[in-house]
Amino acid sequence: MAKRIVFHIASLRGGGAERVFVLMANELASRGHDVTLFTWNAEGPNAALRSPAVHLVDFDLPIRGEGYGKWETLKGIVRSARLFSRLDPDAVYSAPEFANLVVALALLLARSRARFFPSFHAAASLPSSSLGARIAVWLSALVAARATKAIAVSVGVGRDIAARGFPQSKVVVINNPLPPAAALQQDSYTWQTKLATMGDGPVIATAGRLVPVKDHRTLLRAFAILRAGRRARLVIFGEGPLVAELRAYVQESGIGADVL
């Protein structure tokens, strides 16, 4: 039986969570479900990945830096509640942390009985200076109370949210999916050619948005210690607001020749 399913993501800019949600929405729509991708701002490269079978709801709220202003957030919560009242979904999936709180509040305001599956993509124990991140941690009990299941993308993230008060019975680990095989169109890439010119030694690779919560600086410090004692190469896949800062730190650390 077809279900009414809503996926909520704060925006469609960058990041793995945004891509994962679009791909999951596409897949469930292809299986005959009534799927809505709901976002406060639909700008970004992941918008092009959406299947025509997935309904798009875009509030077109202005983004300030990496998030939304206070007034936009309040308006967004009220409009989200109205949307849930109108759509009357069977299930709602959300990510990342602050979006989970928004959905929990909106579902309560809408008096919706939808099953709620908040998704967690990073360890909240890592420091974050944003007001939204701090509020999300403080009020995580609200999300835990409303959630049907809390989805963690790794065992470590699952341990983190359980330590913050989520009942262990509600925490389930579901790793991020691999992209469809059809999306892998090239046999080789430019970065592979560059890597071949960087000498030999083991290759360490990481993929993730270049934002504070990913803590790439700690990785670079550890790599500098490793590189002082042996040959190695580090490849960082990702983009984000910290790209210039991290590149500068690589050069300051004296590991520029071994980091791609």
pLDDT by position in tens, the chain (length 260): 889 999 999 888 766 788 888 999 999 999 999 999 999 888 888 888 898 999 999 888 877 766 777 788 888 899 999 999 999 999 999 988 888 999 999 999 999 999 999 998 876 554 555 565 565 566 778 888 899 999 998 898 888 888 878 889 999 999 887 766 655 555 667 888 888 888 888 988 988 888 887 889 999 999 899 888 888 889 998 888 888 999 998 899 888 888 88
pLDDT score of 138: 66
The pTM assigned to this predicted structure is: 0.76
User: Smallest Cα–Cα separation from 80: which of 47, 58, 55?
Assistant: 58
pLDDT score of 137: 60
| Domains parsed from the chain with CATH numbers | 4-173 (3.40.50.2000), 186-258 (3.40.50.2000)
pLDDT score of 176: 80
